[in-house]
């Protein structure tokens, strides 16, 4: 009995600590603390509070630009739903998040679950469900959700349905945004640009989603006329406002990659590196971008070494090595940097790596002869 009492006291303390973290907005620590309660004393699990902590952290990960982690955010919302499947608020927001991430089929399943529960959220979910059905090629007018929509929502969806087939034929009273998109589709760029700008001039009467889309398409128009500065500005505006289209991410990655290459050609190596790092945020799996980051870091390293700033050079060579995955030249330079810092054990390891990576072809620009190989072995042994 004494052992069980101590165990429950420990869980009680964990409950208090978790609540303290929660009130401070430290949801990760609150989750970790309360999950320990669930493992230690399952019948004391603060299910509702734990679900709320996952929910709040999930929203932050999804929509806070500084701590963006979309997949982590989705996992958190799923955990909130798992804990409180009876709370339609969590399922509703999970559906919205899935929808924003392009997981339309999963979003529809979440929306339908909310509709079945009835209540306030059943009404709120009607419009996004109808939009999702339309995106999947289904006709929302044939679904029971159509009767839950307002007249304005039905009119809007009827207009949107126009974009399911080309050529687009819009009614005279179609929203200006749709007219701009239709003009863009047929290559009437000036008309599209005029429509988008007119909408932004009446910003107070424009909803946030329309504004995000307009900035995205203004970026598209700018890119088509090779005005990459404006394209980046418009796409960054759309991204900062919360637009999460995969194409937007691709476009930002490409725009900053181009900027990095341009700056490198102009001799602005530090500016090139900054642009390349921004591009990597949007396309982390690009091999050509990793090579560019390695190249810029190596050039900055050579500049620093030439000025006698070996510590700075060392840092840039390490970053280049991490980006490129290693090479003879980088191992050689890092060995020199370690020697300059009198880190002889680390230098010896890099000399051995350089020997392993040395080019075997005599016509390679980094090829070394037998005498140089022997010299490197001696340095590795010192």
What pLDDT band is residue 377 in, cutting at 50, 70 and 90?
low
Query: Binning pLDDT at 50, 70 and 90, where does residue 320 land?
Result: confident
> pLDDT tens digit string along 29-43?
999 999 999 999 999
Mean pLDDT of the chain: 84
> Residue 325: is its pLDDT beyond 50?
yes
Give me the residue spans of the domains in the chain: 326-382
**Which residues are within 8 A (CB) of 228 and not within 5 positions of it... i.e. 6 or more apart?**
222, 255, 258, 259
| Alpha carbons 12 and 291: distance in angstroms, whole number | 53
pLDDT-based confidence at 4, cuts 50/70/90? very low
Question: Which residues are CB-contacts of 193 (< 8 A; sequence separation ≥ 6)?
Answer: 218, 221
Rounded CA separation 34/49 (Å): 9
Q: How far apart are CA 24 and CA 18, in angstroms?
A: 10
Q: What does the pLDDT look like over 342-354, one tens digit per residue?
A: 777 777 777 677 6
| Model confidence at 6: pLDDT above 50 | no
């Amino acid at each position: 009995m004494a052992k069980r009492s101590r165990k429950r006291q420990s869980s009680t303390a964990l409950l208090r600590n978790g609540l303290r973290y929660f009130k401070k907005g430290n949801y990760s620590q609150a989750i970790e603390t309360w999950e320990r309660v669930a493992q230690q004393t399952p019948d004391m699990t603060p299910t509702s509070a734990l679900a709320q902590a996952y929910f709040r952290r999930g929203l932050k990960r999804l929509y806070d630009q500084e701590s963006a982690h979309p997949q982590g955010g989705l996992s958190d919302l799923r955990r909130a739903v798992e804990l409180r499947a009876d709370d339609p608020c969590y399922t509703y927001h999970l559906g919205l998040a899935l929808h924003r991430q392009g997981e339309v089929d999963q979003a529809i399943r979440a929306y339908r679950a909310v509709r079945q529960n009835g209540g306030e959220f059943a009404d709120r979910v009607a419009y996004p469900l109808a939009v999702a059905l339309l995106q999947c090629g289904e006709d929302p007018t044939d679904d029971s959700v159509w009767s839950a929509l307002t007249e304005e929502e039905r009119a809007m969806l009827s207009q949107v349905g126009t974009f399911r087939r080309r050529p687009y034929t819009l009614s005279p009273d179609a929203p200006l945004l749709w007219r701009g998109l239709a003009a863009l589709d047929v290559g009437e760029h000036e008309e599209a640009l005029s429509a988008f700008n007119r909408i932004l001039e009446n910003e107070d009467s424009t909803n946030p989603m329309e504004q995000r889309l307009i900035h995205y398409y203004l970026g598209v128009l700018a890119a088509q006329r090779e005005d990459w500065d404006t394209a980046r500005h418009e796409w960054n505006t759309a991204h900062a406002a919360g637009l999460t289209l995969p194409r937007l991410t691709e476009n930002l990655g490409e725009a900053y990659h181009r900027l990095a290459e341009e700056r490198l050609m102009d001799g602005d190596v530090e500016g090139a590196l900054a642009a390349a790092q921004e591009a990597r945020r949007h396309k982390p799996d690009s091999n050509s971008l990793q090579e560019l980051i390695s190249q810029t870091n190596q050039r900055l390293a050579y500049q620093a070494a030439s000025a006698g700033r070996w510590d700075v050079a060392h840092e840039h060579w390490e970053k280049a090595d991490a980006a490129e995955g290693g090479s003879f030249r980088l191992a050689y330079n890092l060995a020199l940097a370690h020697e300059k810092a009198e880190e002889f054990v680390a230098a010896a390891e890099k000399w051995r790596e350089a020997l392993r990576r040395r080019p075997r072809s005599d016509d390679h620009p980094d090829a070394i002869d037998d005498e140089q190989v022997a010299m490197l072995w001696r340095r590795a042994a010192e």
